[in-house]
């Protein structure tokens, strides 16, 4: 370590300490430091909490709708399978039973695909609503919490 650098660092340290000891210089330097507007900050926290509560409620409601729709799809599928089994058992020959089974398989696959698409569309719509709500609301309040005092010298 160079002796000049050490003495220079010490001098800078003591100059800084002198400015802390001088209240006028210290307060003058404080005017240039950004300050926090606590009422704005608390209002922002309150609004962000409201937004998160709304987003959670929306997510909960969407999940309930999706579960209900999935249960309906499962119930319809089970009912269709039960009816198909009854038709197969009452078929007069093996060809009729095979045709009935083939029709059921085709219908079950189509229904499953349609139900899956419907549920995915519901999930996508709900997710987009939640992200839009949070994105618009939360980011809006961040900039309002901090301000910088500007003093103009005349």
Please list, in sequence order, all residues whose beta carbon lies within 8 angstroms of the beta carbon of residue 112, skipping any fewer than 6 positions away: 73, 77
In whole angstroms, give the CA distance from residue 8 to residue 14.
10
Long-range contacts of 109-115 (CB under 8 A, 24+ apart): 111/73, 111/76, 111/77, 111/80, 112/73, 112/77, 115/69, 115/70, 115/73
pLDDT of residue 84: 93
pLDDT of residue 154: 42
CA angle 120, 123, 128 (to 5 degrees): 125
pLDDT of residue 62: 93
154 residues of the chain, pLDDT tens digit each: 455 566 777 777 776 677 677 777 766 666 666 666 777 778 878 888 898 899 999 999 999 999 999 999 999 999 999 999 999 999 899 999 999 999 999 999 999 999 999 999 999 999 999 988 888 776 666 655 554 444 444 4
DSSP code, position 36: E
Closest residue by Cα to residue 130 from 40, 64, 30, 61: 61
pLDDT of residue 42: 82
DSSP state letters, 73-140: HHHHHHHHHHHHHHHHHH-SSHHHHHHHHHHHHHHHHHHHHHHHHHHHHHHHHHHHHHHHHHHHHHHH
pLDDT of residue 44: 78
């Amino acid at each position: 370590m160079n002796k000049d650098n050490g003495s220079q660092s010490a001098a800078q340290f003591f100059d800084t300490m002198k400015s802390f000891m001088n209240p006028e210089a210290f307060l003058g330097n404080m005017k240039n430091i950004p300050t926090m507007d606590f009422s704005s900050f608390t209002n922002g926290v309150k609004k962000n909490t409201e937004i998160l509560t709304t987003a959670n409620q929306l997510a909960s409601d969407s999940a309930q709708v999706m579960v209900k729709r999935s249960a309906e799809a499962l119930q319809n599928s089970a009912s269709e399978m039960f009816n198909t089994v009854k038709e197969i058992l009452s078929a007069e020959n093996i060809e009729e039973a095979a045709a009935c089974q083939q029709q059921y398989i085709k219908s079950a696959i189509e229904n499953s695909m349609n139900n899956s698409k419907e549920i995915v569309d519901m999930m996508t719509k709900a997710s987009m609503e939640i992200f839009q709500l949070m994105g618009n609301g939360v980011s809006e309040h961040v900039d309002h919490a901090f301000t910088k005092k500007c003093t103009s010298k005349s």
